[in-house]
Structure 1
C-alpha cells in the first residue's frame, strides 16, 4: 500500500481526525494494559474488554466534538464552560459505562473487592476523576491540533496572497513595454511603406510580431537560458538596426558556461532599450552597445554597456530621468532574488554607462 504524503493527510481534516482518534485511543488502551500488568495479573479476556471501553471513549468524544463545533463561534466564556462541563460529563458517563461493563463481565472481581472491604462509591469517584482527566486531555489535544491547522491554513493563504501579489507585480513590470519603441517602430514601418520598400517593411513587421509574441508568451515567473534571452534580444535589436542603420553597433560576448545558465526572461531588453534611447538616438553619430554574460564564483554576471553620455552616479543611487527600464529591472531582481542579487551602475571609459547584474547561477538540469 502506498503511503499517503503528510501534506495530503493534513489537508484532509476528516481523515486526519479519524487517524488521530484511532491512534490516540489505541495508545491509551495499550498504556492502560501495561499499567494493569505492573500492578498484577489482569482478569481473563481483558484484551477484549479494553478495545470495547476504548470504542466507548471514541463514541463519547464524538459527542464532545459535536459540542465544540456547535460552540466554536460563541464567546470565550461560553466555550470555556462547554469545554469544562462537557469534559466532566463525558468522563463521568464513560467511567459509568466502563464500571457497568466490567462488573457484568467479571462479577467475581466485584465479590473480591467487597470481601476486601472496599468502598464502591469511593472507587467510582476515583475512577470518575481519572476519566474526566482523560477527556480534558482529549479536549486540549483537539483544540490544540485544530488551532494549529487553522494557523497553517492562515499561513498558506498569506503566503499564497504574497505569491500572487509578487507574480502580478512581476508581470506588470515585465509588460511595461516602452510605448516609444512601438511608436518609433510603427513610424519606421510607415516610412518604409511610403518609400515603397515593402520587402523591408514586411520583414520589420514580422520581426516586431515575433518579438511581441515572445514577450507576451513567456511567463515572467519562469526562467529561460541566457542563449534564449540573447536570441529574443536580437529580435528586438534587428528592429532597431532597421531604424538606425550604421549608427547602431552591437557587440555580444556570451561565454560557453553562461549560455545554458538560467535567468528571468526579457531581463536585458529594457536595459538595451534604455541605452538606445539615451546613448544612440541622441547622438548624431550613433553609438555602440555591448552585451556580455559570464559565470564567476557561482554567480551569473550580465553586463550591458554603452558609449553614450552616461549618468551622474555620484549620489550612489538610481538617478531621476534614467529611464523606467533601469528601475523596473532592479525591482524585478529584488522581487525574484531578494538579497541574493546585485544591480550596479558604473561609468564606461571614456564615457557611457555600464550596468552589471549578478544573480545566483542555476541550470535547467
Structure 2
C-alpha cells in the first residue's frame, strides 16, 4: 500500500525522497566526522539536521527554477543546472559556515592562525556544489523516468482502447443481409396472414439482437451460452428455409463450461447459410461441434455446400467478410495462441476449424 502511494502520488514521492535523501546525507556526513576525528561538541546533534533543512530549502528553490525552464532547449537546461547547483552550493556553504563558526568558534582558530579561512570556505563550497549537482541530476533523472512511464501508460491505454475498438468493430459487423432477409420474411408472413409465426420471428429476432448487443465483445461466454444464442439465430433462419436447412449440434459435456468469445460462430454459420444453403435447390446441412482436447477448446462449423477454392487451408482473396472478421477477432484476442483453418468437407463443402486456449468460468466464492 505504501509503495503504491509512493509511486502514484508525485508530491508524496518528492517529499519522501527529500526526507530520505537529506537524512542519508546527514547520517553519512556524521559518520565521516566520527571517522576523521572527534565530534566538536554535543551541539552537533542539532547542527547537522539544521543545515540539512537549509540545504533542502535551497533544493526547493532549484526545483522551482527547473520547473520554470523545463521546456527550454537542452543546452540551456544543462547550463542552468550547473550554474544553479553552483550558486545553491555557495549559498548553502555560506549559511553552514556562518552557523558552524558561531556554534563551534574553537574550530575557526586553526584557519585564522594560518590565514586559510578562504581555503576552508572554498573547499566546503566545492563539496556543497557536488551535493547540489547530484541532487539536480537525481531530480531530472527521476522526473524524466516518471514522464517516460506516464507516456508509456498513455500509450498502453491508447493501444488498449484501440484494441477494444477493433474488437467491437469486428464483433458488431452483423451482416445487414440477415436483417433484411428476416424482416422480408416477417413481411411475407404478415401478408400471408400467418401472424402467429410472424410474431414468433419478431420475438426471436428481438431476443437475438438483444443478446448480440448486450454482450461485451471483450468478455467471454460459455460454450453452452454461445450455442443457445446460435440456436436462437438458426431458429429464425429455419423459418425461412424450413426443411432445406438441416442442423447438427455435437457439443461434448466437458466443453459446455469452456469459455469462448461471444457470437464467434454466428458469422461462420451465416456464411454457410449464404453460400451453401441459400444457393442450393435442396438446401443442405450445417454441423457445429465443440470439444476439449488437451489444453485447447476445439470448435468447428462444417457445411456440405460447394465449398471454396482453398490454398493450404487459407481463405482466398474475396472469400467472405465473416470469415475474415472471425480470423482477425481471434488474432486480437489470443495473438499467436490460436488457430483458424479452413478445409474441404468430404465429398464437398467447407469446414472451419478453430483452436483456442481452454478457459473455464471462475465461480465467485
State whether TM-score is above 0.5. yes
For residue 112 of structure 1, report the CA deviation from its aligned partner: 5.4
Map 1:227-238 onto structure 2 (within 5 A).
227-238=224-235
Aligned with 2:71: secondary structure?
A: coil
Partner of 2:219: 222
Alignment of 1:45-60 (within 5 A): 45-60=43-58
Aligned to 1:79: 77
Structure 1 stretch displaced more, 139-148 or 242-251: 242-251
Instruction: Quote the Cα distance in structure 2 between the aligned partners of 1:229 and 1:249.
Output: 19
Instruction: Give the Å deviation of 1:32.
Output: 1.3
The count of corresponding residues between Structure 1 and Structure 2 is 361
CA distance in 1, matches of 2:271, 2:88: 74
Equivalence map 1:19-58=2 (5 Å): 19-42=16-39, 43-58=41-56
1:291 aligns with 2:285: no
Call closer, same or farther: CA 1:36–1:257 in 2, change over 3 Å.
Answer: farther
Q: Which residue of 2 aligns with 1:364?
A: 361
| Partner Cα distance (1:255, 1:33) in 2 | 75
Match of 2:192 in 1: 195
Query: What secondary structure is seen at the aligned counterpart in 2 of 1:317?
Result: coil
Q: Deviations over 1:235-287 (max 9, x none)?
A: 11110111111111111122222212211111110011111111111111111
Q: Which residue of 2 aligns with 1:164?
A: 161
Alignment partners' CA distance in 2, 1:253 and 1:36: 83
Structure 2 Cα separation of the partners of residues 146 and 78 of structure 1: 17
Corresponding residue of 1:144 = 141
2:304 alignment partner, one of 304, 307, 313:
307
Deviation at 1:229, TM superposition (A): 1.1
| Structure 2 unaligned residues grouped into runs of 5+ | none
Tell me the distance in 2 between the aligned counterparts of 1:251 and 1:357. Answer: 18
Distance in 2 between the 1:316 and 1:305 partners?
Answer: 14
Cα displacement (A) at 1:45: 3.0
Alpha-carbon separation, structure 1, partners of 2:207 and 2:115: 94
Decide whether aligned partners of structure 1 residues 315 and 356 sit closer, same or farther in structure 2, where only a CA change above 3 A counts.
closer
From the superposition, tell whether residues 253 and 5 of structure 1 become closer, same or farther in structure 2 (CA, over 3 Å): farther
What TM-score do the two structures reach when normalised by structure 2? 0.95
**Can you give the 5+ residue segments of structure 1 that lack an aligned partner in the other structure?**
none
SS of alignment partner, residue 260 of structure 1: coil
SS in 1 for 2:157: helix
* Distance across 2 between alignment mates of 1:226 and 1:102: 79
Q: How does 1:64-213 map to 2 (within 5 A)?
A: 64-111=62-109, 114=112, 117=114, 119-213=116-210
